[in-house]
Structure 1
């Protein structure tokens, strides 16, 4: 077994969860979501998160995880979910170096939009706003939880 095998197995389980969500909805504009830990645990691909900005003005991958985990651990936050924009084929050897890709994060929380924008500045998003599930459809991803009373969907997005 090579050194990357445990991470590759995590990646392949993540891809299976992503594909399951595509099977659960008929609208491909509804992006699958995964937990913060599922996306970052074992992730070696710096270009998998906000890839047009990776290596330039956003923090390194693990620092992004730490910032998002700090937000997730606040008492006024229900969850932080990573929306998957694109995923490699788990069975394609030529795609083994690629982790699923995200340019969008959903934060389910009970705070103001101004508070949200301030707390996410270190991530240098192109946009941070009070929004909804999938800006194109408004449809909740199949594995996303129901919002708790007083909580809203906040969106981080990188071009």
Structure 2
């Protein structure tokens, strides 16, 4: 299965819905088939950031928690460059919907070389087709430099 092609098709469709905000996709949409280490947190790759497969595994563990109601990947503004070459679309951040407090959510980042969590807002504005966080949950956006 060509996961990259499927992801790009989804991103193009999302861009048609709202070209002013960065698309948001599921963990599986973004990580399945992705072995391009510099597609997320490229500045930390080789500087202590774990391999992309480990990032995926760790966020799947977060997604499986009872106090987590969704984990999504926010694309980088340059994702469209992947339409012109064979690279994986670049990601900017990971969004988590959770009823946990921010201190607990910060603990989930240990060893990922993330720069932190932004609580309560979409860092670059909410894409029109982005999921809504359920009542009683917080939006946490994990970011890397």
Instruction: Confirm or deny a common fold (TM above 0.5).
Output: yes
Paired residue secondary structure (1:106): strand
Match of 1:10 among 3, 19, 27: 3
Superposition pairs of residues 11-90 of structure 1, within 5 angstroms: 11-27=4-20, 30-85=21-76, 86-87=78-79, 88-90=81-83
1:99 corresponds to 2:88: yes
Q: Please tell me whether Structure 1 or Structure 2 has the larger radius of gyration of its CA atoms.
A: 1
Aligned Cα root-mean-square deviation (Å): 1.5
Structure 1 match to 2:97:
108
Paired residue secondary structure (2:35): coil
Structure 2 match to 1:158:
144
Paired residue secondary structure (2:111): helix
TM-score by length of 2: 0.91
Unpaired runs of 5+ in structure 2? none
Unpaired runs of 5+ in structure 1? 1-5
Aligned pairs, how many? 143
TM-score by length of 1: 0.83
User: Are 2:49 and 2:112, in contact at CA under 8 Å, matched by a contact in 1?
Assistant: yes
User: Are 1:49 and 1:103, in contact at CA under 8 Å, matched by a contact in 2?
Assistant: yes
2: distance between equivalents of 1:151 and 1:112? 9
2: distance between equivalents of 1:142 and 1:81? 14
User: Are 1:129 and 1:156, in contact at CA under 8 Å, matched by a contact in 2?
Assistant: yes
Shift, 1:26, TM fit: 4.4
